[in-house]
Chain A
């Protein structure tokens, strides 16, 4: 059941008071109504960690002038979970020299494979489900085909992989969105305001469908990079400690000099 808590700043207040039971029934019946989507939680953000990038295989003997590499550009969950809980579709905008440069991918895994010879910037637009966010989000990825070390031999077995970690942050998520993704592994669920409870999630019709969009068994998964925040946190903490120590030292020096200066000041200034 819902606690009509005061944390809901937006939204139709009448609904809060009138029928808690009616609402939960509606939630269980399937598609939530539009007005429910409008109930948003201020000061709450929900984030989805993603990794996007490309893997490119050199075609070796089979390479031609215009098709030297076979590459795949993709957006995946950072832990290889299924992003389709949040993302409705992804649109990859390729270089104009490609046929139909606007490629739409309607389901997870959100990826696109092509062959070519050139490196260029790909604009990836993620469209979210209507209860998640009306606005799409743009990512930009520079396609990388050739290895950093230009002198090394190119291998057909080992791809050139470039990945970037990022997190999609949704501000003021709607209740229905929160309810839907409560226990989903792809989503970093926020701490909800005290005393706030969500309606139970809508049961998903097809259990098997749920897992198909993840990239855990993806053919490229062996090349995926690992992103651990622990290392970076350690680095940052150590750096901060150092800087703080230095600051303290400088402050001591400054107060010392101040003392000296006070004594040295010409009498007319005092």
Chain B
């Protein structure tokens, strides 16, 4: 501001003054009549998207030329068999009452139940399990109750299931239709003839439906698991078959994706005994699919380096694992004293390396599973869910891991001495603070990874 003073420039440029002038105008323009300014501001100060109802329009009504009155008049309905006369309010226009049938009479529809004659019964419709009286009664009921079989079954004097009644009714009607038709071709299009009632199928269907509807949550989960499992296997089979063609990545991509989803859904699908072997099987089937597709793509190269091939296979094997898991695998390899990339990558060495990586992946998966199960167990014990999945039996696992890993770092030769000292800190630290949540696992597997 001062600078402008010194320079002699105008304090505020012209556009601002213009804005100031227009703003109060716009403000008063924006405020509509009929609503107070504050209420209008609630809408955000803008015109609503829906056209608002103009109050003036509400009171308007087109002036009608006719004279309308309402009168209490008698009426009859064609739907009734008797001559009952009832009364109701009728809209009379210019003195003329409404004409025509009662407006609801047209809804009085009924089913065309075929009635047979006695001769027809003797000729076509006899059945060992049904007497004529029963059949007659059935048809009476059908007409009376408009084919509402559940009601018919309820009222039927002898106990018959709904399926039996339906079966009798439909087969009788079908037989009559065919018998009465001048030629079979004419009734071939009739739904009764085209699709006859299938008792066994219907019974089965209803039984299955009731089973599905009455499933417990537990059962539902198990079913979902089995279906997902079947899908995975089918897709890995497809992928393995599709290996013959070069353009196959789509199917094999689905494989690991599904495996990842299945593993990721470990918390929604409650792990059960069924799940453990299936979890072990499923990743291996999808990894198998990956392997075969990688092999196929390598073969297409005609020439490649063994290290490149190993890289591809490792990638394929870890495709279902996240970045963290891969890092854990690499850390495990280092702890075991194995080179992340083999120094002498011969065919045998590469094969062993790949198998080792896969086994480590399995190991990590199992560890995670164990964790979930322990969390489940402790939540059952506490009776509350939402526990941190980190309250495992520490003594069990931590001690095991100490025992397995520390001694072996010693056995791998002098170069590991440096690492051994580093490792000492890890387990030592763990022993010092047994209950601190930050040190639930030895250093190599961080709690944050889980």
Contacts and interface: CB of A to CB of B under 8 A. Distances in A.
B102 interface: no
B218 A270 contact: yes
Interface in A33-85: 47, 49
Interface stretch (A105-113, A143-151, A162-170, A198-206): A162-170
Given A240-B359, A243-B359, A266-B380, A170 B303 contact: yes
Contacts of A232: 339, 342-344, 349
B91 to A, nearest CB: 61
A265 interface: yes
Contact of A257 (B332, B377, B412): B377
B303 A233 contact: no
A47 B302 contact: no
Residue from the set A128, A135, A257, A266 with the largest chain B CB neighbour count within 10 Å: A257
B303 A133 contact: yes
Interface in A103-125: none
Contacts of A192: none
A31 to B, nearest CB: 21
Where chain B touches its partner, the secondary structure class is helix
B338 A258 contact: no
A255 B277 CA distance: 11
B377 A243 contact: no
Interface string A158-182: 0000000111111110000000000
Contact of B298 (A171, A236, A246, A251): A171
Contacts of A133: 302-303
Where chain A touches its partner, the secondary structure class is helix
A128 B412 CA distance: 41
A243 B367 CA distance: 12
A238 B413 CA distance: 13
Given A257-B377, A264-B380, A266-B380, A135 B344 contact: no
Contacts of B272: 258
B363 A250 contact: yes
Nearest to A265: B380
Contacts of A229: 344, 346, 348-349
Contacts of A253: 370, 396
A197 B305 CA distance: 27
A258 B412 CA distance: 36
A126 B433 CA distance: 58
B353 A167 contact: no
B366 A257 contact: no
Given A229-B344, A239-B336, A244-B359, A167 B352 contact: no
Contacts of B161: none
B356 interface: yes
A233 B348 contact: yes
Contact of B366 (A135, A250, A261): A250
B370 A169 contact: no
B304 interface: yes
A220 interface: no
Interface string B301-339: 111111101000000000000000000000011001111
Interface residues of B, number: 53
A243 B345 contact: no
A165 B337 contact: no
A225 to B, nearest CB: 10
Given A49-B346, A232-B344, A236-B356, A166 B380 contact: no
B305 A169 contact: yes
Contacts of A134: 302
Given A247-B359, A250-B363, A242 B404 contact: yes
A196 interface: no
Contact of A166 (B307, B359, B369): B307
B366 A247 contact: yes
Contact of B303 (A128, A243, A246, A255): A128
Contacts of B352: 233, 236-237, 240
Residue from the set A134, A172, A244, A254 with the largest chain B CB neighbour count within 10 Å: A254
Contacts of A233: 348-349, 352
B337 A261 contact: no
Nearest to B351: A236
Given A229-B348, A237-B352, A257-B374, A250 B367 contact: yes
Interface string B345-382: 11111001101100110110011011001101100110
Given A228-B344, A251-B276, A258-B373, 11 more contacts: A47-B347, A49-B346, A165-B345, A229-B346, A235-B412, A236-B349, A236-B353, A239-B338, A240-B359, A261-B373, A269-B218
Interface of A: 47, 49, 128, 133-135, 137, 139, 165-172, 188, 227-229, 231-233, 235-240, 242-247, 249-251, 253-255, 257-258, 260-261, 264-266, 269-270
6 contacts: A135-B302, A165-B343, A168-B303, A243-B363, A246-B404, A266-B383
Q: Which 10 A/B pairs are nearest by Cβ-Cβ distance? A: A167-B306, A264-B380, A236-B352, A239-B336, A250-B366, A257-B373, A229-B344, A133-B303, A229-B346, A227-B344
